[in-house]
Structure 1
Amino acid sequence: MGKLNIFEITFSNPQGVFYGGQLIQGHVTVELNAEMKMRGIRLHFEGGARVHWSEEHSTGTGPGQKGDDPVLQAGRYVYPFNFQLPTGIPSSYESHTGRVRYSVGGVIDRPWKFDHTTKRAFTIVDPLDLNLDPQARQGATANGQKTLCCLCCKSGPISAVLRLDRLGYVPGEAIPISCEIHNGSRRSMSSSFVQLKQTVLYHATSKTKTMCNTVSKISHGSIQPGDDDIWNGDLLSIPPLPPSGLRGCQIIDITYTVTLNVDPSGVGTDLVVPMNILIGSIPLQSVARQYGPPPPLPLPPAGSDIPIQPITPSAPSNIDIPPPSYAECAFGKVNIREENDNEHTRGNMDYAPVYTYYNWNQHDANTFVPVTEEQNKL
C-alpha cells in the first residue's frame, strides 16, 4: 500500500447540482498512511469553455519540515473550500461530439515526484423558467398531407393533424397527444407513432454538425385504406434532459420536437408532422398548482454538521411550486477522463449530468433509453 490512502472531493450538496451564481461548498479529504512531503494542495474549478479558476489551501508547517516544503504527517485531514459560481453559465451537457462540463480537480503538489490528482464533476442547471416565455402556455396545431403512388396510378392522400394544448414542459411531465389521421390511400398504413426528438447543432469554425436523438416514443397499430385513427390524449413521457437552447453556450444549440409519423406499408416514406416545443427547468405556474404546495425542506441527518443548501431556483415568492427531484440524463454516463488526466487520477470518471425532474406522473426516470441516434453533416 502506498502513502496515500484517500484523496477525494465531497460537496456539501450531495447531489452535486448547482445553479449559476450559487456558492459551491465542500471539502477535500486526504488520508495518509505515512508522512508525505508536499508543496501544497491545490483545487482547480474548471468550466467547459476551457476557462478555469484555482484556489490553494496551504498544509501549513509542522514537525518534520525539511527545507521550504512542509511534511504532512500520517493521518486524516479535511480541508473545506467554497467557490462562487459566475451567473449566466450554461447547463451541463455531455455527448461524444460535444460537451459543457464542470469539474473540480485536486492536486497534491510533491517536489521532485509525481503529483497525486483527483477529480469530481458537478452539474450546472440553467433555471429556464417557462413562465417567462408566452409561447410556452399556448396551444398549437400542425397538419400534413402526402400522396402515395400505387403502381402507375396515384392513390388518394393520407392526412394528419397534430394538436398540443401547450408548448412548454419540464422533464417528468407527460405530453398529452391529440391527433387525427385519415388514410385516403389504397394502401394500408403499418403504424402511426409519435416521438420526442432532441436535435443538437454543434458549431465549429466553418462547419455545423447535426445530431438527432429520439428520446421517447409511443405508437398505434395499422390503419386500413379509408379508415381513420384518432389519438385522444395518449401520454408521451419526457425523460431527464437539458433545457432547450443551452443558453450561454455559443457552440452547442439544443431544440426539441414532437413528431407524428404515419408509416405506409411497402415502399414509401413516412408522412411526418413536426411541432417544436420548449423544455424548461421551472414549470408553468398553472400546471404546478395542480399538484399542490411543496413539502417542507427536509432536516439534516442527526449529528450532521453539513448545512442545508437550497438548490431550487428562485421563483416569485407568492407561487407554490413543488420542488423537483434530480435524475441522471436519459443518455447515460460518459467517461470524463481528459488529456491532462492519467491512469492514476482518482475519482469517478463515469459521469452523467443530473437534471431537474418533476415526478408528478410517477414515472421512473431510470427507465428511459434513447430509441435511435442519427448523424448528419450540413
Structure 2
Amino acid sequence: MTIKSFHIEYDAINDRNTFTNGDTINGRIILEVSKETKVQSLLFIGKGKANVRWSEHYGEHTHVYWSDEKYYNVKHHLLRESRQDGTEVIGKGRHVFPFSFKIPDRKMPSSFYSSVGRIVHRLEVELHQSMKLTKTAKTHFTFISTADMDTPGLMVSQHGSKDKSFAFGSGNVSMDVFTQKMGYKLGETLSVSIKINNASSRSVKPKLELYEKKSFFAQGRRKIETKTILKEKAEAVEAQSGKKTVTKMITIPRVLPPSILNCSILKVEYRLKVYLNIKFAADPVVKLPIVILPEDNSRVSDEEQPFPPVGFGFEAFGNQNPQSWDATSQAMSLPPPYEASAMYPPFPTIS
C-alpha cells in the first residue's frame, strides 16, 4: 500500500476542547507514503450540518422521515495540480500540511447527538489521485454556540397559574408559580416560588420536575422525546390551610447540553413542571419554559493562538525532509460527547 497513513488533527484552545463562533482552529494533515507518489490535489473542508432521521411503522409498511440543514461548507485547496500532466509528486516519507480554519461568526446551533438526529461540525481532507478512489480523513470538533441574549423573554420573570375545583362540595385549590427569569447558565440556581391557596378538604403536596424535550421535524411530521432531568418535592399543604408560599431552589446540572432553539429541524428545550399531588384526583399542572445558556467559551485571541508556520498550510510536496512532528503529543483526541454514547456512530449519514 502506497499510502501508509492519512489523517487530520487539530489543537485545543481550552481545557474543554470546545470552540465557538469566530474561533480559529489550527491543525495539520499528516500524509505518509511508502514511495514517491503522484497526487492531483489535497482539499481541506470545514463543514457544519444538521440531520434528522427516524422511521414509523404503518401496518406492514415502514416510512422513513428525514431532513437536513446546512450551516457552512468551506473549502480550501492545500495542493493543486501544477504540472502539465495534472499531478504533483511527493517523495517517500511523512509529510505535514498545516491548516488554519476560522469558524464562521454567525448564528448556528451547538454540536448535538441523539439516536434520531445530530448537529455535526467537522473537519475533512480529501486526497485525489488519478485513476484511484478519493481518500478522505475527517474529525469532529465540539462547537458551542455563543448565548443568544436576544431570545424573547430570556431575562423576564415567568408566571403560570392553575385552579382546581373538587366535586361534592370539597372546595377548591389554586396555585401560582413564579421564576425570576427564563435563561440560566449551567450550575446556576433556579428559584421557584409557589403560591398555594388550599380551600379544599384535601391536603396537597407540591412537586417539581425539570425535564428535557427534544423535537425533530421532517416532511411535515414531528417526533418528540422527553427525559426527566431531576425531581424535587416540598412539604404538604394541609386541608383548609388557606394561602401559603413555598420556595424551592434548584441547581441547574452542569452536564446538560444547552438549549437549541435556532435549528429548524431539531430543537432541544427544557421545561419546569410544577404540580400539586392530590390523592384520588387529577393533579393541577403548571409548565414554565427554561432556557439553558451555553457556557462562555474560554477564547484565545488570534495573537495568542499557535498558528502553523505557514499561512493556510503548505509544506512543499516533494520535500525529502518534512517538518518533524511528534504525533503522540500533538494529536488531539476527539472532544467528549454530551451523551454517554459514542460520538457520531454511523447514523444518520452526513455527507
- Same fold, judged at TM 0.5 (above): yes
Pick the aligned partner of 1:94 from 97, 113, 124. 113
- Name the CA shift for 1:186/1:329 in 2 (closer, same or farther; >3 Å): farther
Q: Which residue in the other structure is 1:128 paired with? A: 147
Q: Which residue in the other structure is 1:19 paired with? A: 20
1:329 aligns with 2:338: yes
Q: Which residue in the other structure is 2:211 paired with? A: 197
1:8 aligns with 2:8: yes
1:58 aligns with 2:79: yes
Give distance in 2, aligned partners of 1:237 and 1:225: 32
Q: Which residue in the other structure is 1:363 paired with? A: none
Q: Which amino acid aligns with 1:207?
A: R
Can you list the C-alpha shifts for 1:193-228, whole angstroms capped at 9, x where unaligned? 322233344333423333333333323466665568
How many pairs were matched up? 299
Q: Which residue in the other structure is 1:41 paired with? A: 42
Q: Which residue in the other structure is 2:274 paired with? A: 260
Give distance in 2, aligned partners of 1:47 and 1:57: 20
- Name the CA shift for 1:219/1:28 in 2 (closer, same or farther; >3 Å): farther
Post-superposition offset of 1:186: 4.8
Is residue 214–residue 269 contact of structure 2 (8 Å, CA) maintained in 1?
A: yes
Can you list the C-alpha shifts for 1:52-108, whole angstroms capped at 9, x where unaligned? 23222229899xxx9945244123x32111233333231223333333221112233
Is residue 32–residue 92 contact of structure 2 (8 Å, CA) maintained in 1?
A: no
- Name the CA shift for 1:210/1:148 in 2 (closer, same or farther; >3 Å): farther
Q: Which residue in the other structure is 1:276 paired with? A: 289
Q: Higher RCO, 1 or 2 (CA under 8 Å, sep at least 6)?
A: 2
| 2:286 aligned counterpart, secondary structure | strand
Kindly report which structure 2 residues correspond to 1:111-122, keeping only aligned pairs within 5 A, or say none: 111-122=130-141
Give distance in 2, aligned partners of 1:340 and 1:70: 34
Kindly report which structure 2 residues correspond to 1:42-191, keeping only aligned pairs within 5 A, or say none: 42-48=43-49, 49-50=69-70, 52-58=73-79, 68=87, 70-75=89-94, 77-92=95-110, 93-130=112-149, 132=150, 135-148=153-166, 153=168, 155-181=170-196, 184-186=199-201
- Name the CA shift for 1:332/1:59 in 2 (closer, same or farther; >3 Å): same
| 2:146 aligned counterpart, secondary structure | coil
| 1:178 aligned counterpart, secondary structure | strand
Q: Which amino acid aligns with 2:344?
A: N
Give distance in 1, aligned partners of 2:341 and 2:208: 23
Pairwise CA RMSD: 4.3
| 1:90 aligned counterpart, secondary structure | coil
Can you list the C-alpha shifts for 1:270-320, whole angstroms capped at 9, x where unaligned? 32111223333478xxxxxxxxxxx9989xxxxx99359xxxxxxxxxxxx
Q: Which residue in the other structure is 2:53 paired with? A: none
Give distance in 2, aligned partners of 1:328 and 1:115: 29
Give distance in 2, aligned partners of 1:56 and 1:86: 18
Post-superposition offset of 1:260: 0.8
- Name the CA shift for 1:70/1:219 in 2 (closer, same or farther; >3 Å): farther
Q: Which amino acid aligns with 2:44?
A: L
Post-superposition offset of 1:26: 2.0
Is residue 47–residue 73 contact of structure 2 (8 Å, CA) maintained in 1?
A: yes
- Name the CA shift for 1:269/1:19 in 2 (closer, same or farther; >3 Å): same
Give distance in 2, aligned partners of 1:161 and 1:118: 56
Is residue 13–residue 299 contact of structure 2 (8 Å, CA) maintained in 1?
A: no
Give distance in 2, aligned partners of 1:270 and 1:195: 14
Gaps of 5+ in 2: 50-68, 309-334
- Name the CA shift for 1:78/1:71 in 2 (closer, same or farther; >3 Å): closer
Give distance in 2, aligned partners of 1:340 and 1:296: 31
Gaps of 5+ in 1: 284-294, 299-303, 309-325, 343-378
Q: Which residue in the other structure is 1:359 paired with? A: none
Can you list the C-alpha shifts for 1:121-178, whole angstroms capped at 9, x where unaligned? 1233332253x568333333322223456xxx46433433322223321222121222
Normalised TM-score (structure 1):
0.62
Q: Which amino acid aligns with 2:77?
A: E
Give distance in 1, aligned partners of 2:21 and 2:86: 42
Give distance in 1, aligned partners of 2:295 and 2:87: 52
